[in-house]
Amino acid sequence: MLSTNRQVAYLLTVICLGQVLLISAQVKSRAGVPVLESVAVGGFSRVQRATAWVADGTSGVWSHYFALRGAAIENDQLKQRLVEFQGQIAAQQAAVSRTQALEAALGLQQTAVPLMLAARVIAGSPSPDSMTVTINQGLEERVTVDTAVISAQGVVGRIIKVTSHAAQVQLLIHRQASAAVKFERTGMGAGNAVGGAGDPALRLEQIPNLVDVRPGDRILTSGLDGIFPPGFLVGTVENAEIANVARRVVTIRPAVDFSNLDIVLVVMAPAPDVR
């Protein structure tokens, strides 16, 4: 009996709902659209708006992600190009500092600006005493041992080991590193600037006391070592102490901040003579 009453109740409910739906289909809203259609469209529109909001949000997140990633890549490329341009400027200044008029007068070949290859420092030495870094250019990019490495600020060091796509650079402040140098102000040769422990980390040894050297004098590469092209900045004189009656030791403040190397330039070869 109870089951029959439930069936009757369900039947009445269905009939009532059917009547409501029929009435809604016939009754029109103020806009002239049937109420049932208006409710259905409104419900679907809410679902569509919610779906579109989620989709737009997801699309926006991915768009911003790829935009930021693209900007980071472009910024890195621009940074490398900036260092390349700074290196070319340094090379031009080095060429100007040499006596090109004398070269022309003597019928010598004019000194050419070297070609530069930008490289990123990808690793430092695991030992603080080693004073070496690794760059991401190697044999495949025609990098060879004893190639000079510079930065926009000055001389960094030389290549001592090369693999297919990487190379190890011995920093100029290494205990066994050196570079032939001269005084910019007087043009006089100053022997070799050598690295080693201490502050500053570069020095000139066995400089005659009669040599005109002053604190603040700029030290440039002379090119006599056959590795570093002439005219690139090594550092500035910080002190010139008299070691004995004939000689003095000159300490040099390096031009390069070796604790903050990022992008450097490998000096590949002289630029072709266009005369």
Q: Which two tokens stand for residue 92?
A: 């031009």
What was the pLDDT predicted at 210? Answer: 84
Q: Which among 262, 274, 190 has a CA at the least distance from the CA of 230?
A: 190
Quick check: 156 and 150 in contact, CB under 8 A?
yes
Residue 220, Cβ density class (10 Å: 0-12 exposed, 13-18 middle, ≥19 buried): buried
The domains of the chain are located at 2-60, 75-275
- For the chain, report the end-to-end CA distance as a whole number of angstroms: 116
Q: Could you tell me the CATH superfamily of domain 75-275?
A: Rod shape-determining protein MreC, domain 1 (2.40.10.340)
Q: Measured over all CA atoms, what is the biggest interatomic distance in the chain, rounded to whole angstroms?
A: 129
Quick check: 237 and 249 in contact, CB under 8 A?
no
Quick check: 210 and 245 in contact, CB under 8 A?
no
Residue 257: strand, helix, or coil: coil
What was the pLDDT predicted at 87? Answer: 65
Distance CA 165, CA 194 (A): 29
Amino acid present at 215: P
What is the residue-level pLDDT of the chain in tens, covering all 275 positions?
546 666 666 666 666 665 555 555 554 445 454 544 444 444 544 544 555 455 555 655 555 555 666 666 777 777 776 676 666 666 655 555 555 555 555 555 555 567 889 999 999 876 666 789 999 999 999 999 999 999 989 999 999 999 999 999 999 999 889 999 999 999 898 899 999 766 778 999 778 888 889 999 999 999 999 999 999 999 999 988 776 767 888 999 999 999 889 999 999 865 444 44
Residue 3, Cβ density class (10 Å: 0-12 exposed, 13-18 middle, ≥19 buried): exposed
